[in-house]
Amino acid sequence: MNIIQQLITAAHSAPSADNSQPWHFDWDGTRLTVKYDSERVAGKTFPPESQATLLSIGGSIENICTLLHSYGLEPSVHWPPASGDTCPYYAQISFTQTSAKASALDSDTLKTILNRHTNRFPYQKEPLKHSAQQSIETLSCGNARLLFIEERDQRNGLWELVKSATEIRFQTKEVHEWLGASLRFKKDSVKNSDGLDIDTLGLPPGGSLMLRGISNWNRMKWLNKLGIYKLLAKIDSAPVRQAPAIIAIVGQNNRQGAIEAGRLLVRCWNALNAQGLAVHPYYVVSDQINRLQEGTVPKELTDQAQQIQQKCNGIFQLADSETLYMLLRTGYPKKEKPPRSARLPLEQVFSDHSKA
């Protein structure tokens, strides 16, 4: 595996919303260009300039730069002069020694990057070792920073936020349909190599059948009249309340801020997994706050979303220019090797134009 293949492998292993893998990478012999794969994912997941997509792109850029540094190569990241849906790329990355080669078997950094994974299963109650907290609490990227939360009352406050935001999610048609479309039951997971493999969700017995049943929005809308969204939100958010620790990623509320937050997210996540800690991301609070700002929260749920935003600003003491990007549940896993969702083959996310 040459260095370009390793870089693409590292970039492609970054986390993405519902495992949508929205990126495409072009290599021209000098620069590696990171783009949105409109042909493959447009209309199926978050748009190219959405907060969730920018977080994913930031994570892929972080993995590229981290791997280059581990080989003694200095990355140079060129950002586009303008942004927006018409922007042809997110970043172009070049480095000094394009002929350098390394073996994936000899790269501890690549192993660490590829080891990053989501664990939605139960965690042990044991608090994090002080050394683990020390290893991440000073991490930052640009203006993005993280907060480490262990105190019970604060964790309960975050649980309330997640529960309330999840109630909104289960009552929002667009979000619910996206989630339903991303679920991969056994046969689909192998065939598509994207989306959320049902086996990775840590569901209780019968959970798979329940998800199949509520995936239809018309059925879910009827069940919501009976209050099912409250029960589902309580179940979905319960792990936050039980977690030994929560990590919050915050940053500037703009395009570059989202990319920086994505880089910090992956930097932190890689470090936690490398120490044997499990990680479970919760984007639902950030998503509802972002949708509130975009005006896409259902009108009847706007007050609830505004309360979430106000509480979030207070808990994290956010400046006017800042926003919450992600919450991470972390702790020592009960299930050491949880199942992982599949990834698309590299040839579907990478184009090599260097030999054209």
* Structure confidence at residue 316 (pLDDT): 96
Residues 16 and 51 in one domain: yes
Q: Is residue 227 part of a domain?
A: yes
Distance CA 35, CA 23 (A): 6
| Residue-wise pLDDT tens digits, 94-144 | 997 644 555 544 578 999 999 999 999 999 999 999 999 999 999 999 999
Which residues, including other chains, have CB under 8 Å from residue 20's CB and lie 6 or more apart?
41, 44, 45, 46, 56, 182, 194, 195
| Residue-wise pLDDT tens digits, 154-182 | 999 999 999 999 999 999 999 998 888 88
Q: How far is CA 104 from CA 1, 4, 101, 113, 117, in A?
A: 7, 11, 10, 11, 18
- Is residue 98 within 8 Å of 114, Cβ to Cβ? no
| Residue-wise pLDDT tens digits, 275-329 | 999 999 999 999 999 999 999 999 999 999 999 999 999 999 999 999 999 999 9
The residue range of the domain holding 37 is 3-117+344-352
Residues 209 and 310 in one domain: yes
- Helix, strand and coil in the chain, % to nearest 5: 50, 15, 35
> Is the per-residue pLDDT at 354 higher than 50?
yes
Residues 68 and 213 in one domain: no
- Is residue 312 within 8 Å of 285, Cβ to Cβ? yes
Residues 97 and 159 in one domain: no
* Structure confidence at residue 188 (pLDDT): 56
Coil vs helix vs strand at 149? strand
Q: Which of 264, 317, 310 is nearest to 149 (CA)?
A: 317
Using a pLDDT cut of 90, give the percent of the chain over it.
76
Number of domains in the chain: 2
* Structure confidence at residue 104 (pLDDT): 47
Residues 162 and 238 in one domain: yes
Residues 134 and 112 in one domain: no
Rounded to two decimals, the pTM is 0.94
Q: Is residue 336 part of a domain?
A: no
Q: Is residue 122 part of a domain?
A: no
| CATH code where residue 237 lies | 3.40.109
Residues 318 and 170 in one domain: yes
Q: Which of 31, 37, 17, 138 is nearest to 77 (CA)?
A: 31
Q: Is residue 123 part of a domain?
A: no
Residues 141 and 239 in one domain: yes
Coil vs helix vs strand at 123? strand
Residues 315 and 227 in one domain: yes
Local structure of residue 21 (DSSP, 8 states): -
* Structure confidence at residue 43 (pLDDT): 85
